Amino acid sequence: MNRRRFVNFFLGGSLLGTAASLLYPLIRYLIPPRQAEATAKRVVAAKVGELAPNSAKLFRFGSSPALLIHTADGELRAFSAICTHLTCTVNYEGETGTLYCPCHNGRFDLAGNVLSGPPPRPLHTFKVEVSGEDIFVSRED
């Protein structure tokens, strides 16, 4: 191998490596890995006594965030924590007793209905059951 061929081989390899390092993340972005669809229908959201009145806990319902709320009246309610506007995560605000989306000031009542802001639909609600020491949350449909 003469010097010219060696330099061409070296530069060609470098060019190929650079192209691969640029294309690989682009291809991974365009074709995301397959994720198993969450099929959770019933999950343990919390233990009895874990939540003080007028507080909430964020938990995973399948692959999505959900909120379990222990209201000031002592009721347990659960909602999808995904805002119906642009899918930001909703939080519980104890001072007002409402669910609040910080992205665009969306606000929901404790039935999941829209009180103010841009969300077009109510929050999805879940069924809550207490069994033994566990608080179960399940889909209502």
Question: Does residue 112 interact with ligand FES by CB under 6 A?
Answer: no
Site string for ligand FES, 46-85 (x = CB under 6 A): -------------------------------------x-x
d(CA 100, CA 32): 31
Question: Does residue 86 interact with ligand FES by CB under 6 A?
Answer: yes
Q: Please, are residues 45 and 104 in contact by the beta-carbon 8 Å criterion?
A: no
Nearer to ligand FES, 91 or 138 (CB): 91
SS3 33: coil
Q: Please, are residues 45 and 80 in contact by the beta-carbon 8 Å criterion?
A: no
Interacting residue with ligand FES among 61, 68, 119, 137 (CB under 6 A): 119
Q: Which two tokens stand for residue 33?
A: 């890995």
Greatest extent of the chain over all pairs of C-alpha atoms, in Å = 86
User: What's phi and psi for 34, nearest 5 deg?
Assistant: -70, 135
Question: Does residue 117 interact with ligand FES by CB under 6 A?
Answer: yes
Question: Does residue 121 interact with ligand FES by CB under 6 A?
Answer: no
Q: Please, are residues 110 and 96 in contact by the beta-carbon 8 Å criterion?
A: no
Kindly state the number of chain residues that form the binding site for ligand FES, as judged by CB under 6 A.
Answer: 11
Question: Does residue 101 interact with ligand FES by CB under 6 A?
Answer: yes
Question: Does residue 113 interact with ligand FES by CB under 6 A?
Answer: no
Q: Which two tokens stand for residue 18?
A: 């650079």
Name the site residues for ligand FES (rule: CB under 6 A).
Answer: 83, 85-86, 88, 101, 103-104, 106, 117-119
